[in-house]
Amino acid sequence: MEKTSVLIIGKYAEIECNIQRYESHFVVTQVNNLEEIGQIRKAERVKIKAIAFKGHSRFDLRIIKQFPSLVIIANFGVGYDTISVLDAKKLGVVVTYTPDVLSDDVADLALALLFGVSRQLSLGLDWIKSGLWPIRGEMPLNKRVSGSTCGIVGLGRIGFEIAKRLESFKVKIHYFSRKKKNVSKDWTYYDNPVDLAKSVETLFVSIIGGPVTHGFISTEVLKALGPKGILVNISRGSTIDEKALLNALEKKRIFGAGLDVFENEPNINPRFLQLGNVFMQPHQGSSTRETRQAMGDLQFNNILHYLGSGKALTLVPEMQ
């Protein structure tokens, strides 16, 4: 029996994508990005039934139509805003993603970003390495986390894990979501992000990317957060009005920001590099060996199960 053809798109670490496992089940073609699809001969493209995708380029109708036998796009990651689910549905192609397995790591990093800003961890390291400690003594005092009030914009899987961790620090939890969630009675619900921002000291952003949330954290939200407020973003760079955020940081309209995501990654706005009140990471929320292996396993199993039974393990919400 002839093996099914599968295309793997993206630059995967070895632990993220077990090629031998794919090759034991499928005929495998690999490219580094969507731009290299043109290198695949048409005779091969028409046979491809599944695509394993890791990347941030726009995966839309123009791309999908090049694979007339395609039935599934399995995304590597919980964020799938670069894939046009609407276009996929039009052509009868299902889209899957890798939720849950990365929630803990992203939530862990969210708290690390908070402490990086509030306790000025970059400054503390520089205080030692630069030799300032014996010369100037103690570094400037910073901001307490325990017992503070934190708000979460988007109480999905990751937002919920952030909240549960914050409870360990005696933090009061406030949140915004499209509807009130069945959570602890001690958590306070808000039906708009501005009122939430007015009520908290730290605002975590944990919402999906894409056009519907572009610039969701606006000038108005940042103004409501105020000069003592901290913003932490582990979602997508597009969810924040980045120019408004840079202005707020430069003019000290907020205390600081912890950022793992940016617009135009990896070529971020150079204004960020001049700031002392931002703690940054290079989009590495899920970047542990354990989680990346689990994400690769789930991506593979979505393809294997769908091609074998017509049922995917983790369809994106729009297809459930």
Over range 73-90, report the average pLDDT: 96
The tens digit of pLDDT for each residue in 233-249 reads: 999 999 999 999 999 99
- DSSP 8-class letter at 56: S
Give the model's confidence band at 74: pLDDT under 50 very low, under 70 low, under 90 confident, else very high. very high
pLDDT tier, 212 (very low <50, low <70, confident <90, very high otherwise): very high
- Give all strands (DSSP E) within 180-293, no chain letters: 188-190, 202-205, 230-233, 256-259, 278-280
Provide, rounded to the nearest whole percent, the portion of the chain with pLDDT above 70. Answer: 100
Flag whether pLDDT at 320 surpasses 90. Answer: no
pLDDT for res 59: 96
Q: What confidence score (pLDDT) does residue 1 get?
A: 65
The DSSP code sequence of 275-317 is: -SSEEE-SS-TT-SHHHHHHHHHHHHHHHHHHHHHS--SSB-G
- DSSP letter for 319, please: G
Residue 302 half-sphere exposure, CB side, CA atoms within 13 Å?
A: 27
Q: Mean per-residue pLDDT for 193-209?
A: 97
For residue 318, pLDDT beyond 70: yes
Instruction: Give the side-chain half-sphere CA count within 13 A for 10.
Output: 23
- CATH 3.40.50.720 in the chain, residues? 4-99+289-319, 103-280
In the annotation, is 56 catalytic? no
Beta-carbon neighbour count of residue 256 at 10 Å? 26
The helix, strand and coil proportions of the chain, stated in percent and rounded to the nearest 5, come to 40, 20, 45
| pLDDT at residue 249, as a whole number | 98
Q: Note if 283 is an active site residue.
A: yes
Dist CA 294 CA 90 (whole Å): 30
Over the stretch 180-198, which tens digit does the pLDDT of each residue have? 999 999 999 999 999 999 9
Q: Could you say which of 36, 265, 290, 318 is catalytic?
A: 265
Assess whether pLDDT exceeds 70 at residue 95. Answer: yes
pLDDT at site 2: 84
Helix (H, G, I), strand (E, B) or coil at 38: helix
Residue 10's pLDDT band, with cuts at 50, 70 and 90, is: very high
Fold classified for 103-280: Rossmann fold (3.40.50)
Number of Cβ within 10 Å of residue 147's Cβ equals 10
Residue among 101, 109, 155 nearest 296 (CA)? 101
Distance separating alpha carbons of residues 181 and 187, to the nearest angstrom: 10
pLDDT in tens, 108-155: 999 999 999 999 999 999 999 999 999 999 999 999 999 999 999 999
Name beta bridge partners: 96: 74, 315
Q: What is the CA radius of gyration of the chain?
A: 22
- Give residue-wise pLDDT tens across range 213-235: 999 999 999 999 999 999 999 99
* Average pLDDT over all residues of the chain: 97
16, 161, 201, 283: the catalytic one is: 283
- pTM for the structure as a whole: 0.95
Q: Is residue 265 annotated as part of the catalytic site, yes or no? A: yes
Q: Which CATH architecture has domain 4-99+289-319?
A: 3-Layer(aba) Sandwich (3.40)
pLDDT for the residue 257: 98
Each residue of 223-237: b (16+ CB within 10 Å) or e? bbbeeebbbbbbbbb
Taking residues 96-111, report their average pLDDT. 98
Question: What is the model's pLDDT at position 22?
Answer: 98
Write out the two tokens for 82: 């670069």
